[in-house]
Chain A
Amino acid sequence: MAATATPEAVEARIVEALASFGPDIEQVTREATFEELDIDSLDLVELAQIVEDDYGVELKGDDMKNLKTVGDAIELVVARAS
């Protein structure tokens, strides 16, 4: 069962997931870039798996390539889930 993809819920889940990959949770702001957070393509594939599990949103490699910031990822998932 997919969770309800409210913007607040998606943001909390994505921030939590990214923090589990390495950066401190305080660093994971909407404005932070993946480069700054040392989040690379392998991490983003894992993020996509988590998002798909939780919200039923399937993200492809091309979707992920254009993401620069944490906010970009949150907006994409919220838009796809609605």
Chain B
Amino acid sequence: MTRRRVVITGVGAVTPLGVGADVLLRRWVAGESGIADGEGACRDFVASDHLSKKEIRRADRFAHFAMVAGDEALAAGGWSDELPYAAERISCVLATGIGGLGSLEAQHDLLRDQGAKAVSPLSVPLFMPNAGAGTLSMRYGLRGQSFSVASACAAGSHAIGVATRMIQYGDADAALTGGGEATLTPLARASFEAAGALSPSGISRPFDERRDGFVMGEGAGILLLEELEAAQARGATIYGEVLGYGSTSDAYHLTAPEPEGRHAAEAIRIALRDAGRDASQVDYVNAHGTSTPINDASETAAIKLALGEDAAQTIPVSSLKSSIGHLLGAAGAVEAIATLAALRERTLPPTIGLEQPSVGLDLDYVPLTARPFTPRGERPVALSNSFGFGGHNVVLCLEGVA
């Protein structure tokens, strides 16, 4: 039996580069940054421009981002008027690293200052990590499996992988997936700062000798996945295919990646094997590329281990986090969207701020300036890496359109 194939038929994004999936790649390729004052905030996003008073009150900011990106993805897929599949056959798998942290902090302030009676009944429903999945399932009437994936900064890619498997296995015909995050809050800042993970300079420059930590960002990326033949039958526009998914764990340290990248490398190998591709067919690697000293080194090691030293030297690698910072649980989803767009445009987007290559980090990181590429095969193929606190490694193998 051949495996059911899964294609992307709609995308939507809210990022520090603006509201919309198109603006994401356009501004990244132009070398623009959405980071200001050391953070990638979604400054252009005004919830009331997109959502009703009730929708705003009934969701945390991370779910606001997810709703707006979800509306865009469904509109792009031509789903705005009615669902093209039985509601029970549509899944909704959404990632978040932390959930509604801003709501949690605000309610905890009330609890401490005014007592238990001041706490809103909406507290837990807003900050629970599955609120995004529940909100989107209700918003669009999706009645298949819905839940959230929480694997820190790997969650966005995990969600896409899990949703892909549901469709491949036949548990669903379509899925809305991706992730949302909104943790530009005092607690998240203090925690990441205490852990030594945040950049003191406030500059995201992955793979640069001067890199000193990640820059926190916020936003959402939502993808609409459909089974290939059903998508073709309804004449859907196809943005690309999820060819492969690989996931492993370091079982090494709560926050630090395994320095030699052995288990991240295994995730890359699994994703390629799942895709039926090999290193010689990979046109581009969208790096996790956080701009922390240890991630960028261990990720470089993992890429070399998995693809082979010689092949790795020929494959361009770049990091979206150089332009928007680290969207934590939404990062993998936003990066998959940007990767698909880059494949479609036949462009290698740049690693912004990479002016002084780091000793020992010798891959082609597409420094500073985007450049065009010619696919090695009929259709371009990319890997998108995501790694999370907890030692979670996820790699997606994505194919662009011919």
A interface residues, Cβ below 8 angstroms from B: 20-22, 38, 42, 45-46, 49, 52-53
Contact = CB atoms under 8 A, between A and B. Distances in A.
B117 A22 contact: no
A22 B122 contact: no
5 contacts: A20-B57, A22-B53, A42-B125, A49-B118, A53-B118
B117 A52 contact: yes
Contact of B122 (A20, A38, A46, A53): A46
A58 to B, nearest CB: 9
Contact of B54 (A38, A45, A49): A38
Given A45-B121, A53-B118, 17 more contacts: A20-B53, A21-B53, A21-B54, A21-B57, A22-B52, A22-B53, A22-B57, A38-B54, A42-B121, A42-B122, A42-B125, A46-B120, A46-B121, A46-B122, A49-B117, A49-B118, A52-B117
B305 to A, nearest CB: 51
* Interface magnitude class on chain B: 10 to 19
Q: Is the interface of A mostly helix, strand, loop or mixed?
A: helix
A49 B52 CA distance: 23
B51 to A, nearest CB: 11
Q: Is the interface of B mostly helix, strand, loop or mixed?
A: helix
A22 B202 CA distance: 39
A46 B54 CA distance: 13
Contacts, number: 22
Contacts of A22: 52-54, 57
Interface of B: 52-54, 57, 117-118, 120-122, 125
B103 to A, nearest CB: 14
A79 B125 CA distance: 32
A22 B59 CA distance: 13
A17 to B, nearest CB: 12
Nearest to B118: A49
Contacts of B117: 49, 52
By Cβ-Cβ distance, the 10 closest A-B pairs, closest first, are A22-B54, A45-B121, A42-B121, A22-B53, A42-B122, A46-B120, A46-B121, A21-B57, A38-B54, A21-B54
Contacts of B122: 42, 46
A38 B159 CA distance: 32
B59 to A, nearest CB: 12
A20 B52 CA distance: 11
Nearest to B121: A45
Contacts of B121: 42, 45-46
Contacts of A42: 121-122, 125
Residue of A22, A45, A46 with highest tally of chain B CB at under 10 A: A22
A52 B57 CA distance: 21
Contacts of B54: 21-22, 38
B119 to A, nearest CB: 9
B127 to A, nearest CB: 14
A36 B205 CA distance: 53
A53 B118 CA distance: 9
Contacts of B125: 42
